[in-house]
A and B are shown apart, each in its own frame.
Chain A
Amino acid sequence: MIPYSKKVLQHFNKPHNYGKMKMPDAVGEVGNLICGDIMRLYIKVGKNAKKQEIIKDIKFETYGCLSAIASSSMLTDLVKGKTIEQAINFDRQEIVQELGGLPPIKIHCSVLAGDALLEAIYNYLSKNKKPIPEKLTKRHQQLQKEKETINKNHC
């Protein structure tokens, strides 16, 4: 079996910030059942002392393997309290680094977590008719397209 770091196992055994959020400001969902992983991210947006919008609260629900659950949990720890702008520019490689590494075949779990965050922010900005950075729109469209074309030979 693949060796996992202590940190990965900790986040899998006792994940942080999991469960459904009541009255979230936005939700992002990525993945699909064909490939065997679904991540749903809930966010609440607030303001910091400088009146910038921040991710005040974040929760996840994940159907997937150990790495998917650990990546989701680590993501919520890393972006909680960040400004929306910081969160949009969040480097998902941080998830892998902070987890102490993931096996190569499981890197896509961290990618999925990063995408769930972008989808949640996209959902928030579009719902509230706020300007959406081009980079974010592009990734959103790409993910929508992938959802449509996915089949059992394409995970």
Chain B
Amino acid sequence: MKQVYLDYAATTPQSPEATKAMRPYFEKHYGNASSLHQFGQRAREAVEASRQNIAKFLNCSMAEVFFTGSATEADNLAILGVIKSSKLHIITTAIEHPAVLEPIKRLEKLGEIEVTYLPVSRDGLVKVEDIEKAIRPNTVLVSIMYANNEIGVIQPIVEIGKVIKATDQKIIFHTDAVQAANYLDCDVQKLGVDLLTLSGHKIYGPKGVGALYVKKGVALEPMMFGGHQEQGLRPSTENVAAIAGLGAAIATISNRKSQIANIKKLRDKLLDGILKNIPKTSLNGSADNRLPNNVNISFSGVEGESILMALDQKGVCVSTGSACASGSLQPSHVLMALGLSHQQAHGSIRFSLGKYTTKEEIDYVLKVLPDIIKRLRAISPIK
């Protein structure tokens, strides 16, 4: 059966470059990067070469790049590492990834912090003036994602950073750039952020590795203890192969303008094709301030998981914001924050494209999807 993978926002296939970069560190250069002998040195060289690639990508110094075991860990470290005493205030948004929302909610539940969850517009955008209004004397951290994982909406990080710093220089500004890294400028000097999260497996690198940019002068408390690695901020023997893979992945996304244009062309073809050929469909989130690989559509009268499973049987792999698929029975918090009805949120499908997506694949989806929706609508009591 034909297989069409349109779930790049969940994870990307690993690029041959990343795999090649990793291979020697499993069998040949298996040393511990902290060992002083030659095996250790080979491993250390790989770790630092990767760090250099990331520093170049972010336009920061190598000492400001910290490897973690995942982007979730990097997000947790950015939040838990900043909160060193109680009665502090954090500002975030209603549409953050759970890797940001959950550690914040935990601190809130423990009574350690106060939190402002900024709303978003119907388009999924945060209002910059809302941030200014939300800042309090005890605000220590603002965490706002660069691009959303479900709807691909891009937040005005540069403007937000300016407003924060103009109000209070001491407030730390964190952004989760996991979904943005493939497509947007991640120059931290231009962005004006103090902390930035990256993931390996969303950029054609390996799973199980992430990185956190920590601006010089920003003091974070570690979450784990037991070693001197990563300047003591993230003790653990370095996962050398994964770190090498992440470094190689970063290097391959640095030169990518034509690739992005091609992905955007295919995305627009898919989006236009769905909206034109299938009645009662609507795009969720801004059409303009949006990652070039993301389509998030609500299909009226049908539930998302049934669409997903019907597509899966035709070989097409996508995601849904419906509750039924999540295991929690709650629909996507992101779609609900846009002000969508429960029906719209339950009837949503995310298609996310990537560099290996082809025109034939998009044509195939546009061929099989209308019949699936028609069939499910015939079964549905909602007309």
Instruction: Confirm or deny: B379 has a beta carbon within 8 angstroms of a beta carbon on chain A.
Output: yes
- A1-B312, A36-B346 known; A69-B306 Cβ under 8 A: yes
Interface size on A, residues (CB 8 A): 29
CB <8 Å contact, A61 and B330: no
- A13-B313, A155-B323, A155-B330 known; A65-B305 Cβ under 8 A: yes
CB <8 Å contact, A155 and B329: yes
Determine the distance from Cα of A19 to Cα of B313 in the docked complex, in whole angstroms.
23
Which residues of the partner chain B approach A1 to less than 8 Å between Cβ atoms? 312
Determine the distance from Cα of A4 to Cα of B306 in the docked complex, in whole angstroms.
13
Task: Type the 1/0 row for B279-316, where 1 means its CB is closer than 8 Å to any CB of A.
Answer: 00000000000000000000001110110011011000
CB <8 Å contact, A40 and B322: no
Which residues of the partner chain B approach A68 to less than 8 Å between Cβ atoms? 303, 306, 324
Instruction: Confirm or deny: B38 has a beta carbon within 8 angstroms of a beta carbon on chain A.
Output: no
- Please, which residue of chain B has its CB at the minimum distance from the CB of A40? B381
Determine the distance from Cα of A51 to Cα of B381 in the docked complex, in whole angstroms.
33
Which residues of the partner chain A approach B237 to less than 8 Å between Cβ atoms? none
Instruction: Confirm or deny: B127 has a beta carbon within 8 angstroms of a beta carbon on chain A.
Output: no
A70 → B minimal CB distance (Å): 10
Determine the distance from Cα of A55 to Cα of B148 in the docked complex, in whole angstroms.
51
Instruction: Confirm or deny: A66 has a beta carbon within 8 angstroms of a beta carbon on chain B.
Output: yes
B188 → A minimal CB distance (Å): 37
Instruction: Confirm or deny: A37 has a beta carbon within 8 angstroms of a beta carbon on chain B.
Output: yes
Which residues of the partner chain A approach B329 to less than 8 Å between Cβ atoms? 35-36, 155
| A 1-35 contacts with B by CB, 8 A | 1, 4, 9, 12-13, 15, 18-19, 29, 33-35
- A13-B313, A105-B327 known; A65-B379 Cβ under 8 A: no
Determine the distance from Cα of A65 to Cα of B382 in the docked complex, in whole angstroms.
14
CB <8 Å contact, B323 and A63: no
Determine the distance from Cα of A62 to Cα of B378 in the docked complex, in whole angstroms.
9
Interface size on B, residues (CB 8 A): 27
Which residues of the partner chain B approach A65 to less than 8 Å between Cβ atoms? 303, 305-306, 309, 322, 324-325
CB <8 Å contact, B306 and A64: yes
- Please, which residue of chain B has its CB at the minimum distance from the CB of A31? B381
Determine the distance from Cα of A67 to Cα of B331 in the docked complex, in whole angstroms.
17
Give the A-B pair count, Cβ closer than 8 A.
74
Q: Which of these, A9, A12, A61, A66, contacts B381 with CB under 8 Å?
A: A61
B1 → A minimal CB distance (Å): 14
Instruction: Confirm or deny: A43 has a beta carbon within 8 angstroms of a beta carbon on chain B.
Output: no
Q: Which of these, A18, A64, A155, contacts B378 with CB under 8 Å?
A: A18
Task: Type the 1/0 row for A102-129, where 1 means its CB is closer than 8 Å to any CB of B.
Answer: 0001000000000000000000000000
B55 → A minimal CB distance (Å): 38
- A64-B324, A105-B327, A155-B329 known; A37-B379 Cβ under 8 A: no
A154 → B minimal CB distance (Å): 9
Determine the distance from Cα of A9 to Cα of B309 in the docked complex, in whole angstroms.
9
Task: Type the 1/0 row for A64-81, where 1 means its CB is closer than 8 Å to any CB of B.
Answer: 111011000000000000
Closest 6 CB pairs of A and B: A61-B381, A65-B324, A65-B305, A36-B346, A155-B329, A40-B381
